[in-house]
Amino acid sequence: MNVLDTIESVTGYRVSGVHAGLKKNRALDFALIVSDKPCVMAGVFTTNRVKAAPVLWNMERFERNPDGIRALAINTVSANACTGEHGMFNARRMAEMVAEQTKTMPHQVLVMSTGVIGQPLPMDKIASGAELAAQALGDYWHEAATAIMTTDTRPKLASVQVESRLGKYTIAGIAKGSGMIAPNMATMLTAMVTDVQLSPQVAQAALTVATNSSFNRIVVDGDTSTNDMAVMLANGASGIELSTEEDIAEFQHALLALSTHLAQKVVRDGEGVTKFITLRVQSAADDACAIKIARAIATSPLVKTAFFGQDANWGRIIAAAGRAGVPFDADRARLWFVAGDSPQYPGLLLFENGQPTDYAEGDAGRIMEASDIAVTLECNLGAGVTTIWTCDLSHDYVTINGDYRT
């Protein structure tokens, strides 16, 4: 599936990204997506027990109006999380402001917020953003992706065109995220759209499957945010309706490709990241065990700092696997490193039979110098498999997060 790092246009959608005064230096800080016709909505939301007001607002829209969404607005700087009843009032007012500017109804508007927890929304600037963004609507996907950035260093957008037996349709998405990344539902903020027609049930099932194998398989630092959510809108403007199992499977494949591409972009742009690591856990007791082992490794500060220091300290990986709380037997495990995702996979064998192999330290060191590294842990306990994308932990991560509010 050919995923493009651009979005030309998606039938029936208009988008914009503007400066509403939330950020300094005239930086874009407010994004708006509007559909010409009502959309079916699918959504996955943070499992953090502390949920931001916009998450709660969107969850309510999902329950009450899953096939009537017209607009999605996203602000930066304030997460509108831990802001009490006033935060819920402001989330609703943001939807009302957007509805007024886009000639829709508040219950047809989704809102997303990203930024500092506990900081109220500056509603005068939100009002300005809604007005300016509505006036600027067009095929401005790059601007929209730029406008939702926080500590991100570059916008994240992508699209897939599907040449189906029924005709051509598009799936596209923008995402933001750089730190506070270990999603347990989705990834920070992701908004995806398609011009194909889907039922609410098919849309939700497709997004759930895609999320579980993409956004739920990335780690930057081990934190699950209060604001994490991924939303997909389907407006049917292409005139193509998916009804057969084959057509739906083709859509699912394309959506997964897009979601994986966006998810990997988040890791590659992680705060202070210098290494992109593909971590495969194979032959665990079952898939659930494979995921727990992979997450224990991917979130380990000792593992992540070793990759930053280009130290092939395989012992930290084996130790992390052993504390994952699931069956693991070091005497049966094998561990490989390889630079990139090369055809030489699985690569250099560092550990088996409960002890290190006679590998050359220089060979391991050269692999650790690469910017992309693949790690494979074979457990030899069952059929469980998973892949997680993670990264190193550098001095810059501490610097960025040490004074995030100031």
- Which residues does the annotation mark as catalytic? 187
| CB distance 295 to 324 below 8 Å | yes
Closest CA to 388 of 294, 303, 318: 294
| CB distance 197 to 236 below 8 Å | yes
Query: Would you tell me the crossing angle of helices 53-64 and 84-102 to the nearest 10 degrees?
Result: 60
Q: How many whole angstroms separate alpha carbon 211 and alpha carbon 227?
A: 16
| Other beta carbons less than 10 A from residue 10's beta carbon | 27
Contacts of 360 (CB under 8 A, 6+ apart): none
Give phi and psi for 371, each to the nearest 5.
Answer: -80, -25
- On the 0-12 / 13-18 / 19+ scale of CB atoms within 10 A, 186 is buried
Q: How many whole angstroms separate alpha carbon 174 and alpha carbon 296?
A: 28
Give phi and psi for 246, each to the nearest 5.
Answer: -65, -45
